[in-house]
Amino acid sequence: MADFLSTLGADPAVIAALATHRVPGRVTRAERGGALVATLPGEVATPYAEVTVGDWVTLRDGVIDGVLPRRGTIVRADPGGRSSSRVLAANVDTVLICTPVCADPPARRLERLLSLAWGSTATPVLVATKADLSEAALEPLRRLAPGVAVVRTAPDDVGGLSPYVGPGRTVVLLGASGVGKSTLANALLRQDVLATRPIRADGKGRHTTSWRQLVALPAGGALIDTPGLRGVGLAAGDADGVSLAFADVADLATGCRFRDCSHDSEPGCAVSGAVDAGVLDAQRVRSHRRLQRELEWQTAKNDARLRAERNRRGRAVTQEHRQRGR
């Protein structure tokens, strides 16, 4: 059982927590209608439960009756705006942010994905895909992602990812549609399990992966493939992902004269100084500010929602007390 769980990405703590259960498993797909759970006897379709891809669960009579506390959740703002956020994947160790090698990478989109990843307890890695198509240097990507490993891959060369995959580990692939996530996944799987489709003649990607899916890798460990995210909203995560994604700006900001410097036109601003000196991209400072505001706004919205929920529950309890008192 321990070997099976490790192959699915379980680390020793998860194995210990699940050891005494008869049917432990991991959610490979979660939808409104139900979830698929990988178990030792095989994949089981279960009725709806509040779980997400990557959750460790226990089953009883084919129904999920327990979920382990999550570690390393990847959270985004709910695009529908109904609830405050949506968990994309649970129990993730490494977020592989994929983008094709090129001289002019989509900075704004990657900064968002990096902030999302840094907001979790998982470690982001930038994967420069389609290395067989471009000789471009990785320097532009490195500048976008201080402190993040940048790995070049091609369908026949995924060796650079070996430090991140293996027994007891879970990786999730994030990135726009068409960047080569499923192709990468298939290369790691050493077979075509996940759907990929030729890109359109105009070079734009097309959605082919339409749901999030967890698969066990032949070398051990789990991989979660995701459809391309359209408009990634930042949600309050486990950590302040924006500050971590912009560690270069944050570091410089410690040298500003004013602690609440907005790096706009204040005297003694180390950030503006770095921009003027040509060592920091002005666009990066603007992105930092914009994403910081977005995160603050989401956090405030989340707090307001939690307060409203508490009040509602408080009123219900008070009413119950009154009725009993009569």
Residues that bind Zn ion (CB under 5 A): 256, 261, 263, 269, 271
Q: How far is the CB of 228 from ligand GDP (least distance, A)?
A: 6
CB neighbour list of residue 310: distance below 8 Å, 6 or more residues apart? none
Out of 94, 115, 182, 243, the only residue in the binding site for ligand GDP (CB under 6 A) is 182
- What is residue 76's three-state secondary structure? strand
Measure the CA–CA gap between 49 and 33, rounded to whole angstroms: 9
Closest residue to bound ligand GDP by CB = 180
- Closest approach, Cβ 28 to Mg ion, in A, equals 16
Residues 238, 115 contacting (CB under 8 angstroms):
no
Cβ atoms within 10 Å of 313's Cβ, excluding its own: 10
- As measured in angstroms, the least distance from the Cβ of 275 to Zn ion is 10
Contact pick of 106, 205, 233, 273 for ligand GDP (by CB under 6 A): 205
User: Do 95 and 123 touch, CB atoms closer than 8 A?
Assistant: yes
The answer to whether residues 243 and 250 touch, using CB atoms and an 8 Å cutoff, is yes
H helical segments located in 223-281: 241-245, 247-253, 270-276
Binding string to ligand GDP for residues 106 to 135, with x set by CB under 6 A, is what?
-----------------------xx-xx--
| Binding track, positions 246-265, relative to ligand GDP; x by CB under 6 A | --------------------
Count CB atoms within 10 A of the CB of residue 256: 19
Residue 209 touches Mg ion, criterion: CB under 5 A: yes
* Least distance from ligand GDP to the Cβ atom of residue 112, Å: 16
Q: Under a CB-based contact definition with an 8 Å cutoff, are residues 184 and 153 in contact? A: yes
Q: Which is nearer to ligand GDP, 25 or 178 (CB)?
A: 178
Residues that bind Mg ion (CB under 5 A): 181-182, 209
Residues that bind ligand GDP (CB under 6 A): 129-130, 132-133, 154-155, 175, 177-183, 196-199, 205, 208-209, 228
